[in-house]
Structure 1
């Protein structure tokens, strides 16, 4: 088909067919009747048919389409079905033909009927995870691999979407753009892409391709876990023979409106394609220019079709994201995207040869140089000093000259907080501290491009060298010979190589772009004469494999692919590439991470002595006294242990010893620890799916007084829930069993911080004490000031227990737990033998425990938990008021929960949505995990130094994700 016919065809509106005509056609040619629904198309007419015989798609196109082209599509569908690919089947008409040539209202049409594949396209998906991009790329590869063996006469066609005609089509359609700025942008991008593509076209393999495997033409459906699963590929209207790489270029171009302006987010699709159907290096190099040309054709074709067919809603709705695709295709330098594509495909490009280059700084080449570590684990970084402006340069200047930073190092100073985007942390060059006046020479001949008095670029035949910190630099445009003076150093010199002379690279790159930028900006060590490369980071996947090969797998980790975390500061955890994650779930680190007081206290005490509590030292007496000061009056004895599990286990033993009984009441949906005894009283099925089947006969769970989703709801439900307490106690009374006591979290921790109904513990405690039992308040998670409004959780209920257990934040991460009780209860255990915990109450733990109390007081963390906690709760309540999925905000202070439900009436838990939300929050730089028996509650327990700014970032991010859709 000549180009003139191509252009004429690209200017046709969709066929016109009334609903009555469509019904008549279906009845007369297919014996079908049913409801019709219009499906979008740019130049064809597609109608979904819902009939008793099934669901179909009626497709009508202009009669100018050659029959052999449509028969090629039908043959390809049958061929791909034989190869196990999910594509529709063509349904023959009553006369046995799979293609009808009709004329309706003088309109020549070609009509066929196909099976409808249930599901939905992902075109309007507001956030597309990398997994789906990879699946789309892998699918494209599988279709191409299958079609490599397919041939048909109808493949030899001229199509407007064939990239072999893209340059001519762009030139023809450019006048449809009335905005001169836009017209110039499209022309410039197309010209740039055509120039890059020209040397490659003769090496590109050709075959049959679908040419439209996009988010619009691949159908998906959610499974029971609400994960998208592939259902099938539709719309073979662009099938033809052309370059193989064209198919992937179409797929990747369609993904550009899902990447929020960052083209490199499509790399998982490319890597997945390469894994299934390896491409030649020439094809990989052609991919980005083909995508740019496709983007240009998309916007031009869309604007033209809208002018021809202004009432076509499908075209109108696509225009916005087609321009988004175009702008994204222009967002990054082509050389960078090419380097990223090659890296994703596992292809290593040729590197530059510096073997004949002279040293940039002859005076220091070959001499020892002090290398300055500015990475995430640098010993120079402590107590947040890296946040100070100019930190790197001051540290470098403090080293004896010559000194150098490291190329390719992820610098801690470049991190940022409470922002969704990655920080640019990877250094693409080095900074040097040298003696002022140190001579700088041209390593190779080139032209000097002057930026200002101290900055410029030496452009050689094969690379460019960017320098900052020169005295007496050459004039702009001056040609320099190899070895000619470039000037002298000011004492601080920044050096950066770039293999693409058209680029002015940034000095820092974001981690996801780092591999591509490092390919373009290699180490300058060959020009400097000393090694200045940062050591490679540990492979997080290999490290995770080592963990799983040696560390018992029942000890789980957060996330399927967890970030590698080795540093923290305040309410942030920092990965090895310098990204700071807002820590919204770490209730152990109450003071925040990396607190200098903790480091100082532990280091000093370790330097003196650390031993067990049977020795006599001051710290154990001092810390015990401090704990009794924060306990209610009447509490006068302390046991020190290492964890909440040990504290609760010891509390059970105390209850047994004091009461003489063994039977304990515990509360459903609660978690108290992992030891044999504490696991026995734990009933949270999220922690132990068999929790309700494995209770020993001395444990008597009572109904959970969950005022949100329990059997009885609301603040006045205490009496209803107490009936189950009465029933359990009556049963024990009838059997003559001595009650040992009752253990309960005063605020429902694992259920997201839900308050118990007022009066519940007052009445329950009275009933237990009436029978000689003791009341244990498990404050491990909710106590110690975290609630903001109360120091202890039991204060909210207006009661005082007999035994208090605590741990978690007591040591800010140091293993530390405690049991506080009265003398008569404590001494009851002594009659049964001694109690001893080898490390419980060690000097180091006691000193850290006291320091935690000091810091919480001195830094106002209890007040912060109250004040910021109130603000936090109000903001969460705002989500509940606005979004049906946000069912309730629980808790207070910095012990909060946001419960997600699919239905406000039935309270069906939105478990899968909650996990999706948590994973998406991680993408935005926030750590969050689900809790509750249904894992549908956000477990919000951040360090108590958390600020309002961090609260706003967290809640805004949750709202953003709710708006994206779960």
Structure 2
């Protein structure tokens, strides 16, 4: 009887009701007229109704459905409106006062209902769901489950094809009847595996009323002002049934696999969120993954059947592809792995191995001391990128064995050698085994009784009652029996020995990704007990606790990137590496022009520190040599150098020089600019992104002029210089009218804070002439743009064809060492002496000077300016191509490795896409790229990577950028 009911239900085609007929039914029974839009459904017919009285949903289902079942849906909606914060549709009564109508049309018996419409959209076809959205689904599912726990109705006692209690019978039937079924063997295997896992626990699972369809189709969302998705409500209660409580979450998680991009672990935030709302029982946690897989199988089988029954149903055809994707993702990992992942993600754990007793695996080495070799991210064995050499880990172990006799790696350590630069995929860095270098022919014995098997690539595995030990590098004894006892001799070591434990009869990887480490380590515990060796990796600092310590002691105005920043402790060239060995492409660190971890910097700094580091009031050669090198790079008119610690200090000193030389204090600065954090440098900084009160807190000696932004400024295009110069003329006239002496004008020669926008041609030539005519000096802030970053010019002011009076520089000068400079003419430099001597405690120290000269040497030897020109040119061309592909991309600014990508919602109004830019940066971080917004509206990507950035890195960045833009922001 059960099977017959399931077959009948699964075989029902969609009702045949045209739009014209539906409009007649609306008019006849509800007194409504308007327009209809078909909404997708597998077995029902749904129309959106736009009428003069509002928007509704007309639901039409076959008369085969018992009226009591539909009445149960209506009762559940009323129950939820009273007992839950979850928004659900209201049922609209017909003209006769009834909520459920039965009507005969063209020989079909139909049930009619009208519900109000919840505005928003489902997320079915959104390619990527953010973690908070996935958690939102789980939280909603938990809230719904909690609210329905007290709901009862006779109509819930129904036989439904989606009820997982019947999944085995339904799969068996459909597998036997569907011809030419894709992936039949996989579906048959899944059916059996699910049954084996669920049947023993079925009678212990909690029951209640469940929605059974909280999916990306049936949850309605809208974006808020920050472009974050917010839940608006839940629709479609057609699968409401009384069954296992865990069924609801299994349905939700299965739907989320469509957005998983091949990784089933994406559902874990949903499970944690559900568990936080209403705690799951141990048995529910055990059966959850088998039920998810069962749902995936039933989805594809049911879809195949419905397509045969209703081949013209566009909704079915559209959904079939993502249903097969759900099945593919659900079957791409072992059951045991996802079961362990689900258990551990809510704080559960598999039984510990502490109570197990083993015979020693290497009996002749018991009590011998091993050298445990650090192969992790912070290992002192790694330098100058040597971890990228093939076989480096094994070489380090062999070298240690040569010295100490015995050497071993650490279980559970994240291996630096396995990091993968320029990859969106999380690298498999976590070691699930131990490697040992021991004397050849060392005896190996069975740690427990079991069955011995030989596998590929020299694998010898011993399968016990509860554990399997997997060995590589063991030469088994000839004629070894398949069944061995504990302590029985297995063979001897023949090469590097690798040891791995596993709880299940699996073929686990030797390494896994950080996101899967907790689950895999639960299945593949440390073999320390077999080895008699404390070989486990030291536990990491808890990242949340470390961040809390920072917030508790480090002034909060000193911000960090990202809300949950990864812990970065190592870098190499144009990549930064976190503690799990994930390599992030660094696209914003304009300080490290040579890249991170450069061996020349380490050697020069170490050498000079071993000799001396003091201040510039002592006499040593480096300060003179470095000053001469800087002057050789500056315009011929400049002959004096000040060495300081930072760009802020350089700009502060430049302003003081302008005051001293001119005798005045009034400064012109450009709107939207940033020059530093000291009192004077902050005073001339007008960026509201850096200081929201910037425009209202300028002292009276600062006169901001209109930003010459040729893209979104008051005047646009390359011929706009004269219009922007008028703002300068106006302010100069105002200063002159007040009989005040102008001190100077400070400006980035390329508009850095606005994304690297070039100033309109001729702008600085005209402004510099006006300023000098009024006795002021012209300061070129080259802190970000200078030092060859633009590729075609060493200094940014060269693009404008001008020579400033003062150049300020920092950032890339020291490749991260605190180092800045002010370069000027003698008469300007010596004007400061009237106010006393100048001194910067660490400015021009021997260490800084030596590093500064090494930076210049490396830039020349490695042709970094040429790299900025060639690779930077390719970079801009690829970014420019995005303008034609993605409406959100408004413009590309800059040149070389000083670029900005401006995102706008409308290319006519140039409305800034601020929220989208923030989301994009967060998503890029997930894909292995560090990027941050800039500009007053924070809608510009600040693209200023190390000058060693390669073409491969550029292509990876642009490909990922395009991917995210295609996902929809």
- Above 0.5 in TM-score? yes
Partner SS, residue 183 of structure 2:
helix
Matched with 1:539 is 542
Shift of 1:20: 2.3
Question: 1:448·1:475 contact (CA, 8 Å) conserved in 2?
Answer: no
Question: 2:576·2:585 contact (CA, 8 Å) conserved in 1?
Answer: yes
Question: 2:480·2:490 contact (CA, 8 Å) conserved in 1?
Answer: no
Matched with 1:373 is 374
Note the alpha carbon deviations across 1:372-431, whole angstroms, 9 max, x for none: 000000010111010000000000001122111000000000111111101100000100
1:884 and 2:887 equivalent? yes
Matched with 2:554 is 551
Matched with 1:517 is 520
Partner SS, residue 363 of structure 1:
helix
Which of 873, 878, 887 is the aligned partner of 1:875? 878
Following the alignment from structure 1 to structure 2, what is the Cα–Cα distance between the partners of residues 800 and 246?
73
Partner SS, residue 46 of structure 1:
strand
Matched with 2:510 is 507
Matched with 2:96 is 95
Matched with 1:827 is 830
1:56 and 2:60 equivalent? no
Partner SS, residue 143 of structure 2:
helix
Shift of 1:110: 1.0
| Higher mean C-alpha displacement, 167-176 vs 550-559 | 167-176
Matched residues, number: 965
1:777 and 2:780 equivalent? yes
Shift of 1:799: 0.3
Note the alpha carbon deviations across 1:573-613, whole angstroms, 9 max, x for none: 00000000000000000000011111111111111111111
Shift of 1:882: 2.3
Partner SS, residue 232 of structure 1:
strand
1:767 and 2:750 equivalent? no
Which of 595, 599, 609 is the aligned partner of 1:596? 599
Following the alignment from structure 2 to structure 1, what is the Cα–Cα distance between the partners of residues 479 and 351?
33
Matched with 1:728 is 731
Partner SS, residue 467 of structure 1:
strand
Following the alignment from structure 1 to structure 2, what is the Cα–Cα distance between the partners of residues 475 and 722?
93
Following the alignment from structure 1 to structure 2, what is the Cα–Cα distance between the partners of residues 450 and 392?
26
* Gap runs ≥5 in structure 2: none
Following the alignment from structure 2 to structure 1, what is the Cα–Cα distance between the partners of residues 177 and 232?
37
Question: 1:420·1:925 contact (CA, 8 Å) conserved in 2?
Answer: yes
* Cα distance change of structure 1 residues 597 and 360 upon mapping to structure 2, 3 Å threshold: same
Partner SS, residue 359 of structure 1:
coil
Note the alpha carbon deviations across 1:597-652, whole angstroms, 9 max, x for none: 11111111111111111111111111111111111102111111111000000000
* Cα distance change of structure 1 residues 390 and 475 upon mapping to structure 2, 3 Å threshold: farther
Note the alpha carbon deviations across 1:76-132, whole angstroms, 9 max, x for none: 111111122211111111222111111122211111111100000000011111111
| Higher mean C-alpha displacement, 466-475 vs 579-588 | 466-475
Question: 1:598·1:851 contact (CA, 8 Å) conserved in 2?
Answer: yes
Shift of 1:205: 0.9
Partner SS, residue 208 of structure 2:
strand
Matched with 1:75 is 75
1:136-147 equivalence runs, <5 A:
136-147=137-148
Shift of 1:906: 1.1
Following the alignment from structure 2 to structure 1, what is the Cα–Cα distance between the partners of residues 301 and 458?
45
1:495 and 2:496 equivalent? no
Matched with 1:324 is 325
Computed over aligned residues only, the root mean square deviation of the Cα atoms, in angstroms, reads: 1.2
1:115-126 equivalence runs, <5 A:
115-126=116-127
Which of 621, 629, 637 is the aligned partner of 1:618? 621
Which of 852, 870, 888 is the aligned partner of 1:849? 852
Note the alpha carbon deviations across 1:877-921, whole angstroms, 9 max, x for none: 111132221111110110001111111111111111111111111
Note the alpha carbon deviations across 1:56-84, whole angstroms, 9 max, x for none: 11111111111111111111111111122
Matched with 2:423 is 419
Partner SS, residue 953 of structure 2:
helix
Shift of 1:453: 8.0
Shift of 1:472: 3.7
Matched with 2:573 is 570
1:704 and 2:742 equivalent? no
* Cα distance change of structure 1 residues 453 and 806 upon mapping to structure 2, 3 Å threshold: closer
TM-score (norm 1): 0.99
Matched with 1:742 is 745
Matched with 1:286 is 287
Partner SS, residue 365 of structure 2:
coil
Note the alpha carbon deviations across 1:662-721, whole angstroms, 9 max, x for none: 111100111000111111111111111111111111111111111111111111111111
Partner SS, residue 397 of structure 2:
helix
Matched with 1:448 is 452
Matched with 2:721 is 718
Following the alignment from structure 1 to structure 2, what is the Cα–Cα distance between the partners of residues 573 and 356?
43
TM-score (norm 2): 0.98
Partner SS, residue 171 of structure 1:
helix
1:10 and 2:4 equivalent? no
Following the alignment from structure 1 to structure 2, what is the Cα–Cα distance between the partners of residues 946 and 473?
53
Matched with 1:245 is 246
Following the alignment from structure 1 to structure 2, what is the Cα–Cα distance between the partners of residues 120 and 909?
24
Question: 1:177·1:183 contact (CA, 8 Å) conserved in 2?
Answer: no
Question: 2:444·2:491 contact (CA, 8 Å) conserved in 1?
Answer: yes
Question: 1:449·1:477 contact (CA, 8 Å) conserved in 2?
Answer: no
Following the alignment from structure 1 to structure 2, what is the Cα–Cα distance between the partners of residues 563 and 483?
46
Question: 1:352·1:499 contact (CA, 8 Å) conserved in 2?
Answer: no
Shift of 1:938: 0.7
Following the alignment from structure 1 to structure 2, what is the Cα–Cα distance between the partners of residues 331 and 353?
32
Matched with 1:962 is 965
Shift of 1:356: 2.5
Matched with 1:915 is 918
1:905 and 2:908 equivalent? yes
Note the alpha carbon deviations across 1:198-228, whole angstroms, 9 max, x for none: 1111111111000000011000001111111
Following the alignment from structure 2 to structure 1, what is the Cα–Cα distance between the partners of residues 424 and 3?
47
1:406 and 2:407 equivalent? no
Following the alignment from structure 2 to structure 1, what is the Cα–Cα distance between the partners of residues 916 and 639?
47
Following the alignment from structure 2 to structure 1, what is the Cα–Cα distance between the partners of residues 597 and 384?
7
Q: Runs of 4+ in structure 1 displaced over 4 angstroms?
A: 473-477
Which of 472, 475, 481 is the aligned partner of 1:471? 475
Which of 939, 942, 946 is the aligned partner of 1:939? 942
Partner SS, residue 324 of structure 2:
helix
Question: 2:211·2:248 contact (CA, 8 Å) conserved in 1?
Answer: yes
Partner SS, residue 363 of structure 2:
coil
Partner SS, residue 295 of structure 2:
helix
Following the alignment from structure 1 to structure 2, what is the Cα–Cα distance between the partners of residues 809 and 71?
71
Question: 1:454·1:473 contact (CA, 8 Å) conserved in 2?
Answer: no
